[in-house]
Amino acid sequence: MSPTQAMERSYAALKQLLRDGAFAPGYRLEANRIAEELGVSMTPVRDALNRLAGEQLVEASSGEGFHVPRPGEAELRDLYEWNSALAVMAASTARIKPAAGAVEEVMGADTLADATAACFVLLAASSPNAELRTAVARASDRLHPFRIAESQVLEPVLGELEELLDPSPRRPAAIRRYHLARMRAAGELLRARSGL
C-alpha cells in the first residue's frame, strides 16, 4: 500500500469512528495504538490526525497529543448556530434542483442522524457556492455524534427534515426552528453524548 493510500485509509477510518461517536469526548487518540489497529505505520495516522484537527474533528495540543473535542454548552450552541446560518445561506442561494429521488433517498437513510446529515448535504448541494458546501459538510461531521444523541433527548417531530428541504419561502423559518430546539437542548445533548 502506498503512503497516500495508507493515509487516506487511516483518515477515512478515523473520521467515521469520530462521526459515529466511538470515542468519548476528551479521549486521547494515541497514534501508535491506532496505527496498530489499522495495520499501518504511525506516519499516515499522524497525518490523518493532523488533517482531522484542521477539520476540527480532533484537537491537537503541544505535548498532549490528539484528543476528541470536549465542547461545552456554549460551544455546542455556537456550532448549531453556525450550521443554521450555513443552511439558511445555502437555502437563499439555491440554484440547483435536487436530482430525482434525492429527497426520498435522504428519508430512507438507516438512522435519523444519517438522514439529517444527508438532508443538510442535499440542502448545501443546491447552492452553487463550493465553499458553502464544504463548510456545511464539515459542520455536519462535527455535529454527527450529537445528532446520534438527539434521538435520546428530543421528541421526534414529524416532517421536520422534509420542511428543511421544502423550497417554499417558509424554509428559512423551518431551518431556524430546527436549530433553536437543539440549541435549547445543548446541555442534555452533551450529557447524552458523554453517556452520563
Q: Which cell goes with 13? A: 477510518
**CA angle 193–108–86, rounded 5-degree value:** 60
pLDDT at position 43, please? 93
Name the nearest CA neighbour of 181 among 166, 196, 161.
161
In this prediction the pTM is 0.90
In the chain, the DSSP E strands lie at 28-29, 59-61, 65-67
Quick check: 142 and 185 in contact, CB under 8 A? no
Q: Residues in the chain, how many?
A: 196
Quick check: 161 and 119 in contact, CB under 8 A? yes
Q: What is the greatest pairwise CA distance in the chain?
A: 52
- In this structure, what are the phi and psi dihedrals at residue 169, rounded to the nearest 5 degrees? -65, -15
pLDDT at position 59, please? 96
Listed in sequence order, the residues at least 6 apart from 74 whose beta carbon sits closer than 8 Å to its beta carbon are: none
Beta bridge partners of 28: 67
CA 49 from centre of chain: 17
| pLDDT tens for the chain, residues 1 to 196 | 787 888 999 999 999 999 999 999 999 999 999 999 999 999 999 999 999 999 999 999 888 899 999 999 999 999 999 999 999 999 998 876 766 666 777 777 888 899 999 999 999 998 999 999 999 999 999 999 999 999 899 987 768 888 888 888 899 999 999 999 999 999 999 999 987 5
CA-derived radius of gyration, the chain:
18
- What is the distance between the alpha carbons of residues 19 and 147, in angstroms, rounded to a whole number? 10
